[in-house]
Structure 1
């Protein structure tokens, strides 16, 4: 893309010069001379202009570089080239480089059979290329569109190059077909960019493009391997089809991949730095964090999908296929549980900190009876996040559905050797099974409840250690109270003399416990009971000289407390294993 000429710089073609002023504008009108004349089309005499327009034939080559077009003047040119049979204006080669269009520019349904140039053209009003057909290359390098630009259902049989174009309002390319390469390098769209239903047959690089609002690629088709670079507030790729490999690099965007069709690997990644295209791309239309949020992969075959450095806090996974084969690379963010202490009736509690899926948030918000949030309001971090259909139970996933999602994503983490991430999703799966009254039998739910209570499904070491310390403390107290004898019994030996032979018999009396309770609760007995409990639980050695009650207490301790110790070790291992 060339730089636009300065006000004092003459264009490279023979120009009109109308209105030149040595002080303010030494160049004057930059419109190219009409053939056989010394003025541009805008500044010809009326008779000469009419003669020129009447001489044009269908498919004629035209050259109106730098010409200022009013709406009436452009309509006169378009009408001069209309085919009565089709109602289309038919151009051969068309040069509109640096032309200026002050009113509406309606090129809709126009046919361009040769190469077309709109390099650095300026459009002050709405622009219509709807249904236009470009049989050869079309250059829109550096074109400026001050209002809406409509290219929907246009057909580009050759290359379409919009590098450096500026759209001050919406840019509509709905159902546009690009049979050859389509370049949008360095494009800026202040409004919405609509490409839904567009078809890109040969595009290998698409963007970087900056869009202040929504860039809609819903239903678009990419037929060749392509790299897309997009900085936009929202990116919609609903039912977008990639027939080959693709890399989608995003900034600032919330991207919706719902029901996208992936026939080959597609990588969606957050680009860490501003895009470059011969220089750093201007992203001043956007502000705030440049991270990428994926809000839906519903209905997607995730076996071909790679998400890198993505925020999946609000991502909907329900309905996706092969989630166990989804690849999550880099730093992936999931929704946390509500923070802080929660009041449940008369008791206070807090949720275990872990990564959760948006579907669990939606189900818990619905069952908790949380009110729906007004549009645009951010949910409180102390509450579950309501879903898009809150509080409709029929459109909110139930625990059985959410458990299946956790199970598949857990396997994806395990295959990626991310055991801590897999541990959180195993916790979520067990939670959903514990709350699933339809698909989980009652006995299994009770077993899961006990597993959760004792150790957080074998994933919360602090809980298991707390129960272990409580159990050992109880063991110590019971041993002090009824398990340790008052004194260690001394063996007694008795003998019988038979002539010259003596028969000796040694026996130890049963341990006996005497004394009041205040005599039993002493530091000395506490130390001895602690040694018995520790030896029993950790070193698996049996205590000696215990009362009958103490023996049973130690047996129960040897059975239950090592289990809690093992659960604590298992939880630690799940957090550090790689």
Structure 2
């Protein structure tokens, strides 16, 4: 390669080295050099420093080998900035870079530490299939979207994103973990992501302090990702599908308000729910807002997810969340049994249908009478109705001598509060049966109510 016509350095552009090429360019009103474009593609360069520069066209560095430090400071690029297949053998520092098009570092190799600060791209910023051998710190990145698919980070990464509506993380590898902080409602999916160390996904501190819940990052899927070392802090999980995630019971979720809740209704218990339960149910009242369009997972899968999350909350001594996840687990079990009965009936497998039917009816009674041992008012209301009905029946058919409803009610309350004590009033055969049923049912309902109260107090 020839030398620069103004110095002994290698000529890079128009028979000049990079520094003299920029020096001979016209300047704007802010005394910044203005270039139509800068093409360094395929070159092998030593230390490169671009400072306070305007490029109206494209910055092309595809396949470039940077043997020395690459520093970019306060540079405006009107077109795209292309670093695809570039090899950066020394430290990389990019600060104050504004790109009018896309910023591309696909298949790039960065062998040393990388620092990106205040980088803004009006198009897609892609680091797909790039390899980062050193530590990575990205601060204040703004882009139409960030593509990290199949990117490999060999050291711990710190990613602090600004206005980035979407992050693609499919099959990314963070061998020593990552801390991903979002200042806006960034949507991201963890699909087969390799998290080799403690990792965190969180909302920015300013978002939490101002309680701007609408600006939390939104997690969509966790398919194929090991969540045992992940902490989610103020992340919107109202649309998240945990189907296919590994070690879900080891996940840590800091914020109670992250989850979706059930719709309000007379026969619908207000509780924390998973978005997948809404997809499984499929009713209009349970529909997720917007065009979700995601395929509903199996009932068994959602039941397993509820069980794992309940275990996670129990380990953290969060009984309130554990109770809600237990309720969801039992609901999925009840729905699954109902669908199994229908499938067996359609297949004319009568033995399996009747076997499953008995378990389903038992769960339905457990749900109706006490909300799976979580709703005390159901058990006590049922107990009151049973006592009232038994009192009326005894007053009408139970006593050998005519007895008023008030005396019958007192007798019924005494009978309901004991299990083995014999009758001290002469009853008809019908009254004996009513008393026997009452002595069996009333203690059971009382026990269910007390169990539900215990669960409520433990919260």
TM tier, smaller: 0.7 to 0.9
* Structure 2 residue aligned with 1:361: 278
* Structure 2 residue aligned with 1:271: 204
* Structure 2 residue aligned with 1:30: none
Residues of 2 paired with 1:147 and 1:573: CA distance? 65
SS at match of 1:314: coil
* Structure 1 residue aligned with 2:345: none
1:134 aligns with 2:59: no
Q: Which 10-residue stretch deviates more, 317-326 or 186-195?
A: 186-195
Residues of 1 paired with 2:25 and 2:332: CA distance? 67
* Contact 2:53 2:74 survives alignment (8 Å): yes
1:479 aligns with 2:398: no
1:160 aligns with 2:92: yes
Q: CA deviation at 1:318?
A: 1.0
Per-residue displacement from partner, 1:59-88 (whole Å, max 9, x unpaired)?
885523853648xxxxxxxxxxxxxxxxxx
Q: CA deviation at 1:116?
A: 0.6
Higher helix share: 2
Question: Where do residues 330-345 of structure 1 align in structure 2 (5 Å cutoff)?
Answer: 330-339=255-264
SS at match of 1:545: coil
SS at match of 1:535: helix
Equivalent residue in structure 1 for 2:157, among 205, 214, 226:
226
Q: Which 10-residue stretch deviates more, 319-328 or 535-544?
A: 535-544
* Structure 2 residue aligned with 1:25: none
Equivalent residue in structure 2 for 1:574, among 443, 455, 459:
455
Residues of 1 paired with 2:10 and 2:75: CA distance? 27
* Contact 2:207 2:215 survives alignment (8 Å): no
1:172 aligns with 2:104: yes
* Structure 2 residue aligned with 1:513: 401
Equivalent residue in structure 1 for 2:425, among 525, 545, 549:
545
* Contact 1:143 1:162 survives alignment (8 Å): no
CA 1:333–1:450: 2 relative to 1, 3 Å = same
* Structure 2 residue aligned with 1:528: 407
SS at match of 2:431: helix
Gap regions ≥5 residues in structure 1: 1-49, 71-96, 276-286, 341-348, 371-380, 486-511, 515-519
Residues of 2 paired with 1:156 and 1:302: CA distance? 32
Per-residue displacement from partner, 1:459-483 (whole Å, max 9, x unpaired)?
2223222212211211221232233
* Contact 1:461 1:567 survives alignment (8 Å): yes
SS at match of 2:454: helix
* Contact 2:11 2:17 survives alignment (8 Å): no
* Contact 2:11 2:18 survives alignment (8 Å): no
* Contact 1:323 1:408 survives alignment (8 Å): yes
CA 1:109–1:442: 2 relative to 1, 3 Å = farther
Q: CA deviation at 1:128?
A: 1.6
CA 1:387–1:358: 2 relative to 1, 3 Å = farther
SS at match of 2:239: coil
SS at match of 1:313: coil
* Contact 2:207 2:213 survives alignment (8 Å): no
TM-score normalised to structure 1 length? 0.67
Equivalent residue in structure 2 for 1:63, among 5, 9, 19:
19
Residues of 1 paired with 2:216 and 2:379: CA distance? 38
Question: Where do residues 342-421 of structure 1 align in structure 2 (5 Å cutoff)?
Answer: 350-365=267-282, 368=283, 383-384=287-288, 396-421=296-321
Q: CA deviation at 1:528?
A: 2.8
Residues of 1 paired with 2:161 and 2:192: CA distance? 20
* Contact 2:93 2:114 survives alignment (8 Å): yes
* Contact 1:68 1:100 survives alignment (8 Å): no
Gap regions ≥5 residues in structure 2: 342-354
TM-score normalised to structure 2 length? 0.84
CA 1:64–1:54: 2 relative to 1, 3 Å = closer
Q: CA RMSD in A?
A: 3.1
Equivalent residue in structure 2 for 1:454, among 365, 369, 389:
369
Question: Where do residues 204-283 of structure 1 align in structure 2 (5 Å cutoff)?
Answer: 204-211=136-143, 213-231=144-162, 232-252=164-184, 253-273=186-206
* Contact 1:185 1:207 survives alignment (8 Å): yes
Per-residue displacement from partner, 1:225-275 (whole Å, max 9, x unpaired)?
232211221222221111113222222111211111111221111223169
CA 1:57–1:227: 2 relative to 1, 3 Å = closer
1:184 aligns with 2:116: yes
Q: CA deviation at 1:190?
A: 3.0
Per-residue displacement from partner, 1:362-418 (whole Å, max 9, x unpaired)?
2222xx5x7xxxxxxxxxx6635698655xxxx532212221222222211221212
Q: CA deviation at 1:339?
A: 4.0
CA 1:177–1:554: 2 relative to 1, 3 Å = same
Residues of 2 paired with 1:419 and 1:274: CA distance? 27
Equivalent residue in structure 1 for 2:378, among 457, 463, 485:
463
SS at match of 2:306: helix
Q: CA deviation at 1:138?
A: 0.5
CA 1:386–1:57: 2 relative to 1, 3 Å = closer
Q: CA deviation at 1:288?
A: 9.2
* Structure 2 residue aligned with 1:32: none
1:100 aligns with 2:15: no
Q: CA deviation at 1:303?
A: 1.2
Larger radius of gyration between Structure 1 and Structure 2: 1
Q: CA deviation at 1:573?
A: 2.8
